[in-house]
Amino acid sequence: MTQFLTADDFARLRDIRATQPAIIGAALADRRRREVLRGDGRLFIVAADHPARGALGVGTNPIAMADRYELLDRLATALSRPGVDGVLGTPDIIDDLAALGLLDDKIIVGSMNRGGLRGACFEMDDRMTAYDVPTMLASGIDFAKTLVRVDLDDPGTVATLTAMTDAVTQASAAGLPIMLEPFLSNRVDGRIVNDLSTDAVILSIAIASGLGASSAYTWMKLPVVDDMERVMAATTMPTLLLGGDAGVDPDETFAAWEDALSLPGVRGLTVGRTLLYPPDDDVAAAVDIAAGLVHTDL
């Protein structure tokens, strides 16, 4: 992969963090902002909030995302491509990108709950450990995002749902769009697995849709599964499709996204590892294909 950022860029980033940290907040406050929806009314968001949950793996490589410099370079490449509307990340990622000057005219989606660390005994107790609504409002973050995994056999789910309820209520009161990513999940051989059957996804949507004192600003972030027509019939909320795990044949993945993007209510894609770490390592090419599926006028 061709390197987008330079050694000097990273030296400047380290210097800002060590000696001038106030520059980060100023960069977020002063960046050139845009409307969330414009033009064709569709969104293509690159996601990078996995590391904060201890999920560093891509495909068969369990530590693919461990090198922060490489991850930032891949994100910078993606954000430079036409049709990429913004980025989803935890504060550490967003602060790095802001300090590097990469967020002008981009939507920032703040990831809120990363407390359910991958493999932990408390993984389903997925409380807020990253952004909160007041901080996002003060920092000029455009959108909020939460993961809503529901395990009917795990009491930690109750704390997660309570945290989600508070987040949705606060976001709606502030007029901040909030994207919910719901799953029905359960433990298989000690590992949390999301149920991607059509009926399970529909049930997860029903549960997530009722969270909070108002749903006026709620969006959905949903997997592409079988019978997406039934899935999208389960909600009136604007929906972004999530990309899933890397390792699946790229042509099959792109074809599935293209079909789902044609359904009523689907507003675009939020994709991370699948595009940032493609099998051929050509980030720009993978991102360009996905952008063309979302924004057909490119």
Domain boundaries 7-294, corresponding CATH code: 3.20.20.70
C-alpha dihedral sign at 186, 192, 197, 200: positive
pLDDT tens-digit map of 78-124: 999 999 999 999 999 999 999 999 999 999 999 999 889 999 999 99
Residue 1 has pLDDT above 80, yes or no: no
pTM for the whole thing?
A: 0.95
**What ranges in the chain are assigned the alpha helix state H?**
7-19, 22-30, 68-79, 91-99, 133-139, 156-174, 198-209, 228-232, 250-261, 273-276, 283-294
pLDDT at 250: 82
pLDDT at 70: 96
Q: Which of 250, 249, 253 is nearest to 261 (CA)?
A: 253
Q: How many CB atoms lie within 10 A of CB 266?
A: 22
pLDDT tens-digit map of 32-60: 999 999 999 999 999 999 999 999 999 88
pLDDT tens-digit map of 167-206: 999 999 999 999 999 999 999 988 899 999 999 999 999 9
Q: Which of 97, 122, 146, 128 is nearest to 270 (CA)?
A: 146
User: Domain boundaries in the chain?
Assistant: 7-294
pLDDT tens-digit map of 218-270: 999 999 999 999 999 999 999 999 986 655 678 888 999 999 999 999 999 99
Q: Which of 102, 83, 9 is nearest to 45 (CA)?
A: 83
**What ranges in 210-282 are assigned the alpha helix state H?**
228-232, 250-261, 273-276
